[in-house]
Copies of this chain bind each other. A is one copy, B any other.
Amino acid sequence: MSRSAAAVSINNIPVSHSAILSIRARILEAAAEMFRGQGYDVSMDSIAAAANVSKQTVYNQFGSKEDLFKAMVADRAAAMRAPLQVQVLDRHPRDMLAEVARQYYTHGCTAYELSYYRMIIGASLQFPEIGEAYYEAGPKAMLDALTQWIAREERVGRLDTGGDPAFAAEHFLGLITARIESRGLLGQDIEMSPNEIERRSRFCAEIFMRAFGPEGLNR
């Protein structure tokens, strides 16, 4: 009670002390790092230590471990939306798709991102809402953006999905992510050389074009 009241008043203060914000940010960052590496089981003591902050401060700011965890996930989900925007360039679909793949391989499936993903999957056993939130902010957002772009291209006659752009988008994401994820989520190495990235990106785009290119789907 008194705890949540305190939290609210902090949030309502229009950023007069930036010190408070920086402390929250520091804790969130440390929490992300610790949770990511060791799962929900990390101790609050080690999170506090990693944030260079006393344990009491963590509790003052976030109330409980569960709340801290959820706040941290929400924070990261918000940060995630930015790079996911598929830039609406007016390039040939093949190039656009290769670029999406390239982006994913270079920024979306780093060992860092994957270990975070792994942790979320593990935690979603315990907190189903977390899994759902991550899905919405991550894969779903990506899928929606891609679906919209495909639909647009279809309207212009540069793609032909037979009227089911969502289905096509799913397939493209599947193409890009599959191997990487099944390996990476289980902790296997997923490093790729720039050459490999380039080859795969083009290849995915090429396969997609064969399936959904303008002359597609009319067998």
Contact with B along A28-49 (1 / 0, CB 8 A): 0000000001110100000000
Q: Tell whether A112 is near chain B: CB-to-CB under 8 Å.
A: no
Interface residues of A in 165-214 (CB under 8 A from B): 167, 170-171, 173-179, 181-183, 185-188, 203-204, 206-207, 210-211
Asked if A132 and B188 sit within 8 Å, CB to CB, the answer is yes
Q: Which of A94-147 contact B (CB under 8 A)?
A: 115, 118-126, 128, 131-132, 134-135, 139
Q: Residues of B contacting A203 with CB < 8 Å?
A: 167, 171
Q: How far is it, in angstroms, between the C-alpha of A128 and the C-alpha of B122 when the chains are bound?
A: 14
A68→B211 CA distance, assembly (Å): 47
Task: List B contacts of A39 (CB < 8 A).
Answer: 122, 125-126
Copies in the complex: 2
Q: Are B178 and A120 in contact (CB under 8 A)?
A: no
A121-B121, A122-B122, A126-B39 are contacts. A179–B186 as well, Cβ < 8 Å?
no
CB of B186 within 8 A of CB of A131, answer yes
Q: In this complex, which of A131, A175, A186, A207 has the most chain B Cβ atoms within 10 angstroms of its Cβ? A: A186
